[in-house]
A and B are shown apart, each in its own frame.
Chain A
Amino acid sequence: MSTSIDNPHFLLRRVHSLLGLIPVGAFLIFHLWENSQSRLGAEHYNEQVVAALKGMNYLPLLEIFVIALPLLFHAGYGLVISAQMRSELLRYRYPRNHLYWMQRISGIGILFFLLLHVGMTRIQGFWDPAVAEDLYTHMQALLSQPWLLGVYVVGLLLSVFHFANGLSSMAIAWGVTTSVRAQRLFGGFCVLFGLLLAALGLHGLMGFLR
């Protein structure tokens, strides 16, 4: 008799689902909260946020195993899952059908945004000491360009949507919400959660524009 352990299909999906919340989603909350401190000015941001994080114990290991690898797995396996989509948005105009489509499209969008975002900050910091030393000024210079600010706003909103919507479908996949009522209530909670997180993220972006 085959069991769920012999065939990795189920476990891979559940790992993909879980990683979206922990650590990737949790990191997104932390990241947006940290960056919302941009409103307190360059000095506070560079010292209390950036320098404090850089002084963290085992930082490279945390960056690789808690952020980079889970994110890469979630993104890579997400791309594999997306290939199964054959959505007919015009034939079935139900909200959830659109959210299903958006979840996959936003995932691909986020991937492009993250390549740009990580490349312009963390990766560029490897050879450009000015980026690492005064991240606030660097971000200010980046976000002062209207097109790049637009890219950041879109990237932020896609990420927040993907997280909030993923949370509501994760609850169904794991069997937390089963009844129509529970799924609707938790969906409403996820909308509020997403709006709050989007506001936090936008506040953080605005803090660099002072």
Chain B
Amino acid sequence: MTEQSIHLRVRRQDRPDSPSYWQEFKLPGHPDHNVVSLLMALREHPVTTTGERVDPVVWDHNCMEEVCGSCAMLINGVPRPSCSALVASLTQPIRLEPLPKFPVVRDLLVDRTRIDEGLKQVKAWVRIDGLWDIHEGAPRIGPNEWAANYLYSRCMSCGCCMAACPQFGPHSDFLGPAPLAQVRLMNAHPTGRYDARERLHAIMGDGGLSDCGQAQNCVRVCPKEIPLTTAIGELGRQTTVQMFKDLFGPS
């Protein structure tokens, strides 16, 4: 081992229902390592500090440029994407744990289906075919509105905001911040606007917007710096208006 060897502690779990355990590794240092490339290097020689050869660590990764969101995990106790976590900037030993609140499949690989379920529940998409005329090209949108909307379009469904949310987890049916922010985005879209009422009704039900407890951890951990709490405030306003429409009409 060189002087600059990297000390790694990984919380491992063999099966979804089996108990987790820690394993320690030491790897040769490399100035350009991020956590994903570190785990790739570990995969070549999966030998613990006690000299035991073990199964390579399982984790999820894809784009390597912080846009796909699949490699989020708990790094030194903080939820963040592992591809943009540069090893040189991390204190050692580097502790890697699976992203909390989501069911573990194996090691650092979690089942993040619940993010997709949330997005489906709130209809986080724009219908490009419908009863309105779609032959005139995309409706125009002002630069200020575009700039505000763009912030929310950066969401990559990594789940960090949900992992940090004290109201979200297996114990509750709260949607979490990411799907809510997509309601804010889609409701502002010139075509998506047509379904704004349905989306608002979706987040006014069980597990919806009002399950937010204003702890605001989400906006602090979001790797894309999405103004999630502003989205929640704006949706508060939209649902307030929708509530009055529902109660007193016209809906």
Known: A94-B217, A174-B240, A183-B233. A9 touches B198 (CB 8 A): no
Q: Are the CB atoms of B164 and A9 closer together than 8 Å?
A: no
Number of interface residues of A (CB under 8 A): 37
Interface residues of B in 214-251 (CB under 8 A from A): 214-217, 220-221, 227, 229-230, 232-240, 242-243, 246-247, 251
Of B204, B217, B220, B236, the residue contacting A175 (CB under 8 A) is B236
A116 within 8 A of B: no
Number of interface residues of B (CB under 8 A): 44
Of B166, B169, B221, the residue contacting A100 (CB under 8 A) is B166
Of B166, B210, B233, the residue contacting A10 (CB under 8 A) is B210
Interface residues of B in 179-225 (CB under 8 A from A): 198, 200-201, 204-206, 208-217, 220-221
The 8 A CB mask of A149-173 against B (1 = contact, 0 = none) is 0000000000000000000010011
Binds B, one of A26-34, A52-60, A84-92, A188-196: A84-92
Chain A positions within 8 Å of B233 at CB level: 172, 175, 177-179, 182-183
Q: For the complex, give the distance between the alpha carbons of A174 and B243 in Å.
A: 11
Q: For the complex, give the distance between the alpha carbons of A13 and B232 in Å.
A: 15
Closest to B171 in A: A86
Q: For the complex, give the distance between the alpha carbons of A44 and B197 in Å.
A: 57
A2 within 8 A of B: yes
A3 within 8 A of B: yes
Q: For the complex, give the distance between the alpha carbons of A92 and B246 in Å.
A: 38
Q: For the complex, give the distance between the alpha carbons of A159 and B90 in Å.
A: 42
Q: Are the CB atoms of B234 and A175 closer together than 8 Å?
A: yes
CB distance from A56 to the nearest CB of B (A): 32
Known: A9-B210, A84-B174, A96-B215. A2 touches B205 (CB 8 A): yes
The 8 A CB mask of A96-121 against B (1 = contact, 0 = none) is 11001101000000000000000000
Q: For the complex, give the distance between the alpha carbons of A88 and B243 in Å.
A: 33
Chain A positions within 8 Å of B220 at CB level: 92, 94
Chain B positions within 8 Å of A9 at CB level: 204-206, 208, 210
A40 within 8 A of B: no
Q: Are the CB atoms of A86 and B169 closer together than 8 Å?
A: yes
Chain A positions within 8 Å of B171 at CB level: 84, 86
A7 within 8 A of B: yes
Of A3, A14, A173, the residue contacting B214 (CB under 8 A) is A173
The 8 A CB mask of A71-98 against B (1 = contact, 0 = none) is 0000000000100111110011010110
Known: A92-B220, A94-B216, A175-B236. A11 touches B166 (CB 8 A): no
B113 within 8 A of A: no
Chain B positions within 8 Å of A1 at CB level: 198, 201
A145 within 8 A of B: no
A61 within 8 A of B: no
CB distance from B159 to the nearest CB of A (A): 15
Q: Are the CB atoms of A84 and B172 closer together than 8 Å?
A: yes
Q: Which of A169, A172, A174, A179 has the most CB of B within 10 A?
A: A172
Q: Which of A2, A4, A179 has the most CB of B within 10 A?
A: A4
Q: Which of A86, A87, A176, A180 has the most CB of B within 10 A?
A: A86
Q: Are the CB atoms of B217 and A5 closer together than 8 Å?
A: no
Closest to B203 in A: A10
Q: Are the CB atoms of B169 and A4 closer together than 8 Å?
A: no
Give chain B's interface residues, CB within 8 Å of chain A: 77-78, 164, 166-167, 169, 171-172, 174, 198, 200-201, 204-206, 208-217, 220-221, 227, 229-230, 232-240, 242-243, 246-247, 251
Excluding A7-B206, A84-B174, A100-B166, 5 further A-B contacts by CB distance (< 8 Å) are A4-B201, A94-B216, A173-B236, A182-B233, A183-B229
Q: Can you list 6 A-B pairs with a CB-CB distance of less than 8 A? A: A3-B251, A4-B243, A97-B216, A175-B233, A180-B229, A180-B230
